[in-house]
Structure 1
């Protein structure tokens, strides 16, 4: 029989999310090589486009307009995204060393990590100055500067920029534009620009240099020429003193460093050949001259046969040839030479929606140049927006079918899925519905041994077996397909999720066995995936002194992972779903929304920072919250997973024979989840969870609220839900928040059951 399964054969790692790699990922998504496992390692989820940075500083652009969402881009490229910072390379063993991940193996490596301002020759620069690169860190610092000035509008503020190249000049223009819109009086702002040469815009023509000098002087910028900064100190009046080699001293509230580009110092120590400044030396193929399986582009690279400045235009132009040569070396084809142009057009924004053009010996200033620059920049960024329109027709049709089947015309969820064509979800949303399980189990004749205290006859988060008078054995199992592309993170989240059943019952975890499905591939690639996955698992297990004692592996079309977990609990310390008492308060420790967000990510409708936040929540262990609930005498507890908040709450109400009042507005929600729900995006398990609506007493208007829909959203590594005696609830909530469960909320209370078990939902 002919098989359509593709085996993974090569590990291609892209290090850094610079302009060149953004283009490589876009092109790869349009023309991938089957069998290549592509991974991007980036220290930020959203990578900035340098051409629009000055405009963002001025306030002309929003963050989303100037940044490429790497999570969306890597998904389009069918690549893995590892959110981490690279600190070293082991070229002998072909491994990338990161701050958080275990060493990451590669067969081929491409490096595009940019550059940083030169500051080693300025004493105190590391502590006192704000570097313009990395851009992400600069923008965070710039927001803090703006906020400080907003809170002191009536005071005078001095900003000093060290470096009079194009970057420093553009910041001087655009910072002034931004801050004059904040301050009450223009006289409250002074901007200094220090340059070591006698003309600004080093490398540009004389006319452009004189023009920016004239404009800066005209708007009140103080220019210091032929000055080399040697020292920056923080004085007692909370200002900085900048000292130059001439003896010139300049006082400033904020100092920005836009000096010559330099490479991270660790690059030279890896053994890769570099130029005199520490940049990776590459040939005409953008290939390392010392390591043929390593490529480099953008600011971090220096072409052996061409002398060109570190400018974003070259990083953009290198994207296509880098993509071509990465594919060629993998396929065994001949590499193609890249010849950078000698002259390039530079458009320098002057902060007033005008721009200066510099090209060779020519120069021009005009407002239409800004319009042109804005058009060029937006056109470039449009290449990385709305990936859903670039999907295959099959995928688009699949999502259209899913949406039509799940939602009515007003985007309200339907109760039943009537078509078997749907987009299957991963994580805990891949479970089958609770009603299906109930119906199936009722048809079976299952014997239960007398030592089983909690099992299928009285289902809970785990089974409890009586093994001695002193301790009871607690067992549970969970497993699901991967929902994040990083197996190290997947391993951590899944381990937290599986252990959560034990912690929800107040048990002490003891040991686990693993069940793993690996995708088809050659041993070297599968070893890397398995290594990352198990390292993620062990990271959590080691924190709590839990042993991995065995497991089972098999191969399939997709990575999957689960654990069978064993623990022990004292008979008087058991937390069960039963036991809720009237007047108890209900506390939820984590926000809802992982189900809708993970589906939204699959169809390019989620922002990268939404997923970052969801992952952060899923990585938060429930162990400490379980201990706190025991401390404050919780009467019942469960963890919120695939059946959603309402599904698991109904289980508690049935087991306790009580009703509940929920305060819908108090339920914590993950950032972005309301947005995705409003778009009608829910998981494949969501409509099955809607069966529990029969237990709800809801005002008609509430049903239209996104918060209401999220009550049925399946959670992966969700929080704990516990009923706490009313007199202990406030102190319990405060302790949870102090312990790091900052989204914890009292979301309702337990009330007496009348005729039927009911959950009353109030707004």
Structure 2
């Protein structure tokens, strides 16, 4: 993660990854404002470009061709990326309410969340139709429909409700792709039937007659039947019923009709129109709240009403970025007036497109090639990101809006005390931690419920104490997710020993800044950590928080264990199978993330794995008689395996092809992007027999890859291994695999204890 030299003075929160917001991120990346921090909250890591969606459906583009990677773009912009869904706004407290994480405070807020078809307006539509928006949901159903075509026999009927430009374009694209799939499988494409419904008497009603004529001809030539002037009244399972009483049996119904905003907006007190769209002024600010902006489909520009089209969201990006910048610096925003006429390029699925602007129309394959060039050029701006130079400028207080804030900002980086003077203030800390609810345990005599100089714990009879400590810098810009990973990582050693986690003491370093910003970072981070500790039955009993340049967190964890049931590194026995419960690759992936070389979905997969507790896996391994276990962390898979073979007096064999690997890890390692700890781990290659034979294997670099919150590496008797793996997978560890076996030690000694094989 980036560590800004400037203390944070203003927080701009962007809700949604729409076309306007990607433009804001790019502009702030190229020209950041000292003291202003951006946070993007979005449910999806990859945001689609609507202009290329029909081409994707038609098969002309890949998924990555038509999606902007928000994780990479946010990293490039120095913005925090919170992968979550906004479900409300507390305007009094100036906080965004999220579905799965603590609320996010803002000084300025912008909303660019698009819209969704109003399926609740028609009986049965919510249950039996597939809304085209949000596009992520539609994409999953579209991929499912493609797979159904592979195995489907007989006629297949698809109904599309909504004959505007979006509905007609999508219908033609789907038909083109599905007919192609049927031909490739030797099936009759004429068994595929498309029907297009609309309440209007004409298709594409917002475009000129010449454009409509082209699409009427295309739909007719392609055998797509239109049902106009008779709105869909009701849907049941596989049946479309219109106002005129006509019925159609359909295998799939897609909904591309009039859209609306989400219902949660109605509870915010922001002025909305009848469609739950946010009413905005010419400055793009909401009608009744100067600190909230709205753009794209979700916005209704009250003085300049326009059709819901992606072109307007794209055009709103620059003025939105400029006005957010001006507001953050205490200046007045400027009005923006959208154009009255705009160019629409509408495709027909077969690399043919129609250009529409006012009363102008022209069409052909050259128009599609023009559209393709425009779309690819747009996407290149957000996916081909240049390397950014580090900025080491001195503190800038331009964004401070009171003398007190400016004073705090200057003192935040100048003449900072050391020793106990570097501690975070007690008021800030108590406010940040006041809302947290660590669990209470009967064996905690003195803890956070009765703070004292130290915690006092009771050790039950017959139990021994396990004690471990971990501490590391933040590797991602989301303090809540970092807190979850840090706590999970710290608990790993306790679980690997077969112990029960009892208590944890936190040690944190928080970047200096004004009190409100420091308080929120501490709260977000410790909220994530306490959730994980509570889930593990581990009580947070105290800690220490100090100031520093980078966010960091660690825990000293106590555990309780039956001394006769310890799983140790020295318990390997020849003949045992080696089991790994999680995939490897976090080191190379986050090294690539820092270089903007990792796809956002790869980072999503890595974080999901890192936030997955080892507690249940350790309990399962114990049930299957494991006596040797460790968690795979900084020394990498090979380093930790060598740590196990030496005290056990055995050798081991690894099957490279069986080792589970996180998505993208092989690609980033092959590109030579490795963790800074990798060179130290590679020194252990001398422990591999005939290691020169394996240096070009794609998995070879990954056995040295340092892991954060990695899985458990354990041995289980060979006759129990398959059953153990099946149970681990059923318990939520789907990548668990037998990755090798324990061998008798070579008579010549443990010089090269590790053998590799395919």
Q: What's the TM-score once normalised by structure 1's chain length?
A: 0.88
Whole-Å Cα distance in 1 between the matches of residues 459 and 232 of structure 2?
74
Aligned to 1:436: none
Aligned to 2:369: 371
SS at match of 1:562: strand
Q: How does 1:435-514 map to 2 (within 5 A)?
A: 470-514=462-506
Is the counterpart of residue 632 in structure 1 residue 624 in structure 2? Answer: yes
Which one of 257, 260, 265 corresponds to residue 258 of structure 2? 260
How far the C-alpha of 1:64 sits from its partner, in A, is 0.6
How far the C-alpha of 1:251 sits from its partner, in A, is 1.4
Alpha-carbon contact 1:698-1:762 (below 8 Å) kept: no
Deviations 1:442-498 (A, max 9, x none): xxxxxxxxxxxxxxxxxxxxxxx9978611111111010111111111111111110
How far the C-alpha of 1:390 sits from its partner, in A, is 3.6
Deviations 1:599-639 (A, max 9, x none): 00100111111111111111111001111111111121111
Which one of 381, 386, 391 corresponds to residue 388 of structure 2? 391
Is the counterpart of residue 546 in structure 1 residue 538 in structure 2? Answer: yes
Aligned to 1:174: 173
Whole-Å Cα distance in 2 between the matches of residues 217 and 471 of structure 1?
79
Is the counterpart of residue 230 in structure 1 residue 238 in structure 2? Answer: no
Whole-Å Cα distance in 2 between the matches of residues 368 and 749 of structure 1?
61
Which one of 219, 222, 226 corresponds to residue 219 of structure 1? 222
Is the counterpart of residue 249 in structure 1 residue 242 in structure 2? Answer: no
Cα-Cα RMSD = 1.5
Aligned to 1:41: 41
SS at match of 1:669: coil
Aligned to 1:601: 593
Alpha-carbon contact 2:566-2:627 (below 8 Å) kept: no
Alignment size in residue pairs: 684
SS at match of 1:181: helix
Q: How does 1:95-110 map to 2 (within 5 A)?
A: 95-110=95-110
How far the C-alpha of 1:243 sits from its partner, in A, is 1.0
Is the counterpart of residue 124 in structure 1 residue 121 in structure 2? Answer: no
SS at match of 1:293: strand
Whole-Å Cα distance in 2 between the matches of residues 139 and 476 of structure 1?
45
Whole-Å Cα distance in 2 between the matches of residues 467 and 308 of structure 1?
69
Q: How does 1:275-290 map to 2 (within 5 A)?
A: 275-290=273-288
Whole-Å Cα distance in 1 between the matches of residues 601 and 359 of structure 2?
44
Deviations 1:76-122 (A, max 9, x none): 11011111111111111111111101111111100000011122221
Alpha-carbon contact 2:685-2:691 (below 8 Å) kept: no
Aligned to 2:212: 209
Which one of 337, 340, 344 corresponds to residue 339 of structure 1? 337
Alpha-carbon contact 2:459-2:560 (below 8 Å) kept: no
How far the C-alpha of 1:186 sits from its partner, in A, is 2.1
Deviations 1:292-330 (A, max 9, x none): 000010000011211111110000000000000000000
Alpha-carbon contact 1:635-1:725 (below 8 Å) kept: no
Whole-Å Cα distance in 1 between the matches of residues 459 and 362 of structure 2?
86
Whole-Å Cα distance in 1 between the matches of residues 348 and 367 of structure 2?
11
Whole-Å Cα distance in 2 between the matches of residues 53 and 664 of structure 1?
39
Alpha-carbon contact 1:477-1:562 (below 8 Å) kept: yes
Deviations 1:515-564 (A, max 9, x none): 11111211111111111111101111221221111100011111111111
Alpha-carbon contact 1:69-1:607 (below 8 Å) kept: yes
Aligned to 2:757: 762
Q: How does 1:581-600 map to 2 (within 5 A)?
A: 581-600=573-592
Aligned to 1:702: 694
How far the C-alpha of 1:391 sits from its partner, in A, is 1.8
Structure-2 change in CA distance of 1:82 and 1:394 (3 Å)? closer
Whole-Å Cα distance in 2 between the matches of residues 723 and 469 of structure 1?
29
Which one of 628, 632, 649 corresponds to residue 657 of structure 1? 649
Structure 2's unaligned 5+ residue stretches are 393-456
SS at match of 1:706: coil
Whole-Å Cα distance in 2 between the matches of residues 378 and 649 of structure 1?
47
Alpha-carbon contact 2:110-2:293 (below 8 Å) kept: yes
Aligned to 1:162: 161
Aligned to 1:66: 66
Aligned to 1:718: 710
How far the C-alpha of 1:392 sits from its partner, in A, is 1.9
SS at match of 1:38: strand
Aligned to 2:417: none
Whole-Å Cα distance in 2 between the matches of residues 650 and 390 of structure 1?
39
Aligned to 1:406: none
Aligned to 1:311: 309
SS at match of 1:578: helix
Q: How does 1:558-577 map to 2 (within 5 A)?
A: 558-577=550-569
Q: How does 1:409-424 map to 2 (within 5 A)?
A: none
Whole-Å Cα distance in 2 between the matches of residues 120 and 723 of structure 1?
55
Alpha-carbon contact 1:662-1:759 (below 8 Å) kept: yes
How far the C-alpha of 1:706 sits from its partner, in A, is 2.1
Aligned to 1:141: 141
Which one of 658, 666, 673 corresponds to residue 658 of structure 2? 666
Alpha-carbon contact 1:591-1:719 (below 8 Å) kept: yes
Deviations 1:681-722 (A, max 9, x none): 111100100111111103533211121111100000000111
Aligned to 2:272: 274
Deviations 1:245-285 (A, max 9, x none): 12121211100000012111111221101122211111111
SS at match of 1:62: coil
Whole-Å Cα distance in 2 between the matches of residues 309 and 469 of structure 1?
73
Aligned to 1:452: none
How far the C-alpha of 1:37 sits from its partner, in A, is 2.2
